[in-house]
Structure 1
Amino acid sequence: MPSFDIVSELDKHEVTNAVDQAKRELETRYDFKGVAASIEQKGESIMLEAEVDFQLRQLIDIIYAKLVARKIDIKCIEEKDPDLTGVKARQELVLKQGLDQPICNKITKLIKESKLKVQAQIQGEKVRVTGKKRDDLQQTMALLKDSDIDMPLQYNNFRD
């Protein structure tokens, strides 16, 4: 029986490349000359640090531009509240990966309400969709692409 998996994965190598490009741009930007600003990647998050809130917003714009250029969907980034202390402004951008339980439930509910002849099963951090016809599976993919799920979705492990 044909099936595929719905996942939300992040290419960590591309994220590292985007952060490195953002650091290089930060060194060459005229409006950041003589300013103590930095971009650091620490595991599953990106730490931004600048002198004021305005510069922090510019750093976010720089990193988003680099991520989009590397074809990374920015829906997988969660912005934490900025920490505005006297001399420094810090903010953490958390990289979300994998489908959590509420999103998996939303996906399965959306598939069931569509009345397509497919079955959806939650398997950890992915949803497996099976059906008798390949066309039904492709309609399911199209349905999910048009939906308002706030995570980037990838479809892999397609078996015919």
Structure 2
Amino acid sequence: MPSFDIVSEVDQQEVLNAVDNANRELQTRFDFRGITAEFALKDKVVTLTAEAEFQLQQMVEIFLTKAVKRGIDIRSFKEGSVSFSGKTCSNALNLLQGIETEMAKKLVKLIKDSKAKVQASIQGEQVRVTGKKRDDLQEVIALVRGAELEQAFQFTNFRD
């Protein structure tokens, strides 16, 4: 029986490449000359550090632009709150990996409400969809891509 998995994963190497590219752009931008500002990646969190809050907003845009160019969906990042310490302020972009139980339940409900002839089941941090026909599975993929959900999804392990 054909099946596939709905997952939410981001390639760590691509995120690291986006961080490096964003740091490189900071060094060449005129409005960041002589200012302490940097991007850092540690444990699925991209930390942005700058001297002013408006610079952080510019840095978020720079990083998200670089991430999109690397093929990373911007819905894979969740922006934290700005924190101030001394002369610097920082912000964290958390990387969303895996599908949480509540989001998985929303996905299963969405698939069941569509009346597609498939079965969806939650398996850890992924959702497995099985059906008799490949066309039914492709309809589910189109449905999930078209749905306005707060997270980016990938479709893996397609078996016929």
CA distance in 2 between partners of 1:43 and 1:85 (Å): 21
The one-letter code sitting in structure 1 at the alignment partner of 2:51 is E
Q: Which residue of 1 aligns with 2:90?
A: 90
SS of the counterpart of 2:58? Answer: helix
TM-score (norm 1): 0.97
Instruction: State the Cα distance separating 1:86 from its structure 2 match.
Output: 4.7
1:39 equivalenced with 2:39 (yes/no): yes
Q: Could you give the per-residue CA deviations for residues 49-89 of structure 1, whole angstroms, max 9, x where no partner exists?
A: 11111111111111111001111001010111001345211
1:11-160 to structure 2, matched below 5 A, reads 11-160=11-160
Percent same amino acid among aligned pairs? 51
The 2-side partners of 1:2 and 1:28 are apart by: 50
RMSD: 0.9
In 2: Cα distance, 1:60 partner to 1:115 partner: 40
Q: How far apart, CA to CA, are the structure 2 residues paired with 1:36 and 1:143?
A: 45
CA–CA separation in structure 2 for the residues paired with 1:55 and 1:148:
30
TM-score by length of 2: 0.97
Amino acid at match of 1:158: F
Task: Kindly indicate whether residue 10 of structure 2 is the aligned counterpart of residue 10 of structure 1.
Answer: yes
Q: Deviations over 1:12-45 (max 9, x none)?
A: 1111001001111111111111111111111210
Structure 1 segments of 4+ aligned residues over 4 angstroms from their partners: none
Aligned length: 160
